[in-house]
Amino acid sequence: MDYHNFFRAMLPPGYDWGRSVSLSFPGKPKAVQSFRFANAGKFARKYQPQETLEWKNYIRLLAMEQLGEDWIPIKAGTPTCVLYYFAFPFPADMSKKEQARIEAGEARLHARRPDMCDNLRKGLNDALSGVVWEDDAVIAMDSGVKAMDFRPRIEMHVYELVKKQ
């Protein structure tokens, strides 16, 4: 299925694709939890685990490499559409027969944890703030797919939405 044209047909009247970029991040998609809290005397301190900070830096660096020096982050107030593809490795309990069917082209959706909305998209969008967009609040439209694949990775297609003239 041609997802780009599928989503183009779903754009609100008067809008079309504008500037766009495609990004790919090799490795198993990571679910990023919200901040954690720890007691520091009488006060609570909020923090993110070191592993989360390292993963966000990894995403930022790969995005900067792919975007190049000419990329200007999408400005606040610019409606943006993001399409996500999260490719997970096969679970340990998947049979070789099922893996062979996937290798032959059969799609296999990933209907296990982590959940897509809260944990997969949120951490990724936060990591790309200041790089792809000034702030992830610009995302006005999005959709994603979680699947199993031989090449674990995250793929994103980001489109600025522009008013037709």
Burial string for 64-88 (b: 16+ CB within 10 Å, else e) reads eeebeeeeebbeeebbbbbbbbbbb
**Across residues 50-70, what is the average pLDDT?**
91
109 versus 36: which is more confidently predicted? 109
CB atoms near residue 93 (< 10 Å) = 6
Q: What is the pTM of this model?
A: 0.82
Q: What would the pLDDT profile of 79-108 be if each residue is shown by its tens digit? A: 999 999 999 888 778 788 887 887 777 777
In this structure, which topology does domain 3-163 adopt according to CATH? 60s Ribosomal Protein L30; Chain: A; (3.30.1330)
Cis peptide preceding 114, ω within 30 of 0? yes
Provide the residue ranges of all domains of the chain, joining segments of one domain with +: 3-163
Predicted local confidence at residue 105, as pLDDT: 73
pLDDT in tens, 8-28: 778 888 888 899 999 999 998
